[in-house]
Amino acid sequence: MEEFRLQYPLSHRSLVLDAGAFRGHFIDWCRKRWNCRVVAFEPCAEFADGVEQRFNGDNKVHLCRYGVSGKTEQVALSVRGDATSVYLTSDDAATEFITLRDVVQVFDDLDLRLVDLFKINIEGGEYSMLDRMIETGLIERVRYFQIQFHGFGSPNPGADRDKIRTALARTHREEWCVNGGQWESWAKRS
């Protein structure tokens, strides 16, 4: 793990959301560094099973076996390791039908009033989810965002990323951006 990705002023009282938990590495890093609560979202059964097994008995980790999105829907997921996505298909990849849930409904259902860190690595789904958070003002409930933008998942990823960044800049300030925007961190303005 790149050490800079964990440079946040969090503590054991903090709440981290991990959208795109994959194999649970980020959860593990957060638990070891801050001993904080983590709500993880992982819609792929194989990866969710692994996360569940890895953190079995850890009452500070809550796994949601669905993805977060800009709307609630059932979609086909192409399962290809760390490139698993609803936006990329491959003839040699397994397909699984998953549930994506509207991020606003998820925040309400889980009673998420303040999120200290929201890590987002959802293989193209970040565009619709962040658009929804911006249009509803939900971004105001998040102190820090850590986002991986992908070159797919919207009709025009570059322009959509720029639009999201402009909107985020109204409520948050960019702390860092590495590898041409592969990972970005945003902190809520005071």
Residue ranges of alpha helices (H) inside 22-156 are 25-34, 45-54, 103-109, 126-136
pLDDT digit string, tens, across residues 119-128: 999 988 999 9
Q: How many C-beta neighbours within 10 Å does residue 2 have?
A: 9
Q: For domain 3-71+104-188, which architecture applies?
A: 3-Layer(aba) Sandwich (3.40)
What percentage of the chain has pLDDT greater than the value 90?
78
pLDDT digit string, tens, across residues 17-70: 999 999 999 999 999 999 999 999 999 999 999 999 999 999 999 999 999 999
3-class SS of residue 43: coil
Q: Is the pLDDT of residue 4 over 80?
A: no
pTM value? 0.95
Domain boundaries, the chain: 3-71+104-188
